[in-house]
Amino acid sequence: MSMMSEFRQFAMRGNVVDLAVGVVIGAAFGKIVSSLVADIIMPPLGLALAGIDFSKLGWVLKDAVGDTPAVVLAYGKFIQVCFDFAIIAFVIFMLVKGINRLRHQEAAKPAEPPAPTAQEKLLMEIRDLLKK
């Protein structure tokens, strides 16, 4: 088996394709959550905290000199990323909880008992004849 055909077989496995789809959807979902936090949650929160814009919070460690930019410890961006993470973690928790609930409902449904085999039918007929 050549290396190329072996790689093709590896790449076309269901797990690899599923993982690739999950990564792409996860990246898109991350952008949605980032927008939710930055554009919807943080402005009212900043307004409630006397107009603070978290993304601009930071400490200047070294001022800009000429063409060299300032060295800034941007803790406000870190706070925003923490909010992003908390929201993403909560949404994923809710999705997993919903999926688990569906799985438990399917597992809780009792399966229909299997139909009696020919041997069991014959034994039931003999039992019924003996009762008479």
CATH of the domain at 79: 1.10.1200.120
Predicted TM-score (pTM) above 0.85: no
In a domain? residue 50 = yes
Q: Please report, in tens digits, the pLDDT of each residue of the chain (132 residues total).
A: 688 888 887 777 767 777 888 888 888 888 887 788 778 887 887 788 777 777 788 999 999 899 999 999 999 888 878 887 887 788 778 888 988 888 887 777 777 888 889 999 999 999 999 998
Give the domain extent around 107. Answer: 3-127
What are the C-alpha distances in Å from 87 to residues 49, 77, 94?
A: 20, 15, 11
CA 41/CA 47 separation, integer angstroms: 10
Residue at 102 is within a domain? yes
The Cβ of residue 88 has, within 10 Å, a number of other Cβ atoms equal to: 18
